[in-house]
Amino acid sequence: MINSIAKLVCTKNSVSYIVFDENFKIVTFNDLVINIANDPSKLKISSDIRDVMYEFIGLEERMSQLFSCEVESKSSIYIPMLLKNNHYYDLDIEVFTPKDGENLFIAYITKKTMESLRYINMIQEINKQSLVYETSDSKEHKHNCEVINQRLLSFNVDMDGYITLINSAFSHFFDLSKDNIIGEHFSQFFKARDLALDGNSSIIFNATNQMDEVISFYANIIPMTKNSNVHENIIICQDITCLKQIEKELEHASVHDSLTGLANRTQLLKKIDEAVKKFNEDNTSFALCFIDLNKLSTINEEYGYHAGDMLLKHVAKLLLYIVRKNDTVARIGEDTFAVLFINLKENSEIKKKITNFKKIITKMPLHYTKNDIISFDLSLGVSYYPEDTSDIDELFKTADKAMYKDKNTK
C-alpha cells in the first residue's frame, strides 16, 4: 500500500501518516502517529480516525467532496499550524489509489517548531556569521553576501538615518529601483515604536510590501567603525511574520476553547469584569445564563466521542446564532456553556430569548449521517446582576443552581 521507500522517507523526515477509508476507518499508520494522537489507546486498525485525532471532526463534508472529486481545483486539504503536545504541525489530506485496491485517504502530519526564541537566536547567529567581512577566503565572503541578498533585507544608513546602500532583496520587496531609495530616510519604509538606531542592538520593524501586505521584521543593527568612530550602521532584516502569527494564535488559544472556538472561562470572567465596570458607570445590568447539554455521555457511548464533539460544535453554532453581537458565548465545562447577556433594559429580554432558544433547539437536531439524526435537549439557568447578587462567585452559583433545578424537572 505504502512502499518501503515512502515509509523510510516519512520516518527520516519525522512525518506521521495515517491511511483511512471512505468511512474514516484506519487502514494503516506509522509509529510517529502516537505522538500526536488525542487518544493513543484508540490508535488501532479499523478504528475511526475521528476518535484518534479530533482535528478530523468537522472535515467530513470536505473529505467527502475530495473523495468524490467534486473539488476540482484542490487535490488535497491543507490545514496549517495545528497545536499538538506543545508543537505545531501541518496537516495534508490526499486521496490515492493503491495498485490493488479502491481509493483511500492518506493524511500526512508534518512537525514544525514553535520555539520562537530559539528561532530568533538562530537568525541572529546567521546574521553575525554572514557579516564576517574580515575573512581570508574571498569565495566564502562572496557566498555570505549572496545569502544576505537572497534571504535578508540589508541596507546601510548614515548617522542621521539616511539610506546609503541597499541589497537586491530590499529593492525587490518594495518594488522600487535603487535610485528611488538611496538618499531617503529609512523611516519612509519601516515603522516601529522606537526608530532610534542604537549600535549593537535589535528592533522589530513593520513594512508594507508591493502586494500591500504588512510584514514584520526582526532587525539587527551593526555599527561600522572608522578610526574607532561609528560612521554608519548596517541593518539586517529577517522576516518574522510567521512568528508574529504564532504569537497571535497562542494569545487567541489562551482565551478560547480549542474544540468549539468559543470563549473559555478566563475570557468569560474578563467580560464579566467589564460588565461590572459598565454597571458602576451607567447602572446597566447584565445576566449570566448556564446551559447544560443533557446526556452527552450517552451519546458518546452510543456513537463515539467524535459524535459528542460534533454535537458540542453544533450547539456552539446555535448559541452564536441566537445571541446578540455584543453578548459572549463560552464553553466552561465538558458539556456546559455560558452566555453573558449585557446592556439589559429589562430581565424579560432574557426570558424571551431563552424561550426562543429552546424552540430553535427542537427544530435543529444534529444530522450525524444521512440516516442518523441525534436529537438532544438542554437545561438552562439564569442569574441577574445585581438583582440576584452583586458577588461574581454567587452569580455563578445562582445560575448553576437554576440550571440543575431545570434539569431535575425533565
pLDDT digits (tens, 9 = 90+) for 232-288: 889 988 888 877 777 777 777 888 998 999 999 999 999 999 999 999 998 889 999
Q: Establish if 82 belongs to a structural domain.
A: yes
Residues 144 and 204 in one domain: yes
Residue 101 lies inside a defined structural domain of this protein: yes
Determine the pLDDT at residue 81.
67
249 occurs within a structural domain = no
Mean local confidence (pLDDT), 306-321: 91
276 and 399 within one domain: yes
227 & 294 share domain = no
Identify whether 246 is part of a domain. no
**292 compared with 124, residue with greater pLDDT:** 292
Show which of 86, 112, 138 is a domain's final residue.
Answer: 112
How far apart, in whole angstroms, are the C-alpha atoms of residue 127 and residue 147?
Answer: 10
Mean pLDDT for the chain overall: 81
* Residue 247 within any structural domain of the chain: no
The answer for residues whose C-beta is within 8 angstroms of residue 62's C-beta and 6 or more apart is: 71, 77
pTM score, two decimals? 0.50
State the pLDDT at residue 286: 93
Same domain, 140 and 205: yes
**188: pLDDT confidence band, cut at 50, 70 and 90?**
very high
The size of the chain, in residues, is: 410
- Final residue before a domain boundary, out of 190, 207, 241: 241
Tell whether 346 is covered by a domain.
Answer: yes
Q: Are residues 56 and 192 in the same domain?
A: no
In a domain, 85, yes or no: yes
Domain annotation covers residue 316: yes
Give mean pLDDT, residues 28-40: 87
Model confidence at 204: pLDDT above 60: yes
Residues 283 and 404 in one domain: yes
21 closest CA partner among 108, 92, 103: 103
Assess whether 179 and 272 both reside in one domain: no
Give tens-digit pLDDT for 274-309. 999 999 998 889 999 999 998 899 988 988 889 999
How does 100-136 read in b/e, with b if 16+ C-beta sit within 10 Å? Answer: eeeebbbbbbbbeebeeeebeeebeebbeebeeeeee
Among the candidates 241, 263, 279, a domain finishes at 241
In this structure, are 272 and 403 located in the same domain? yes
Of 48, 60, 57, 62, nearest in space to 18 by CA: 48
Least confident stretch, 30-34, 41-45, 62-66, 179-183:
62-66
Q: Are residues 290 and 154 in the same domain?
A: no
Q: Looking at this protein, which amino acid is placed at residue 338? A: A
- The answer on pLDDT for 178 being more than 50 is yes
CATH of the domain at 357: 3.30.70.270
Count structural domains, the chain: 3
Q: Same domain for 174 and 261?
A: no
Residues 386 and 277 in one domain: yes
Is residue 381 a contact partner of residue 289, using CB atoms and an 8 Å limit?
Answer: yes
Residue 123's CATH number: 3.30.450.20
The pLDDT score that the predictor gives to residue 116 is 41
Query: Could you tell me the residue range of the domain that residue 23 belongs to?
Result: 4-112
* Selected residue with higher pLDDT from 388 and 64: 388
389 and 259 share a domain?
Answer: yes
